[in-house]
Amino acid sequence: MAARYVISKDERGEFRFALVAGNGQTVAVSEPYRTKAACVNGIESVRRIAPEATIEDRTQPPP
């Protein structure tokens, strides 16, 4: 199964999306959005930006 975005409503009635891996494990959860349209826009933003994101490892002291 491929990774997917899952939209849901939280206890305050706000929309959130979760990125769920192919094995069913939740990888990330978004901030709350007031509207579903804003939530979908958030997903589209992640889709555009994430492939080019770098990794910043703060667990190691600087060289």
Residue 18: count other Cβ atoms within 10 Å of its Cβ.
14
CA distances, 40 to each of 30, 33, 52, 54 (Å): 11, 9, 20, 23
Overall pTM > 0.85? no
Q: What is the pLDDT of residues 6-60, one digit of tens each?
A: 999 999 999 999 999 999 999 999 999 999 999 999 999 998 887 777 878 889 8
Question: Is residue 14 helix, strand or coil?
Answer: coil
What token pair was written down for 2?
A: 């491929």
**Residue 33 pLDDT:** 98
Domains annotated for the chain, with CATH where assigned, are 4-51 (3.30.160.160)
> Looking at the predicted structure, is the pLDDT value of residue 1 above 90?
no
Q: 30 with 16: CB under 8 angstroms?
A: yes
**Residue 49 pLDDT:** 85
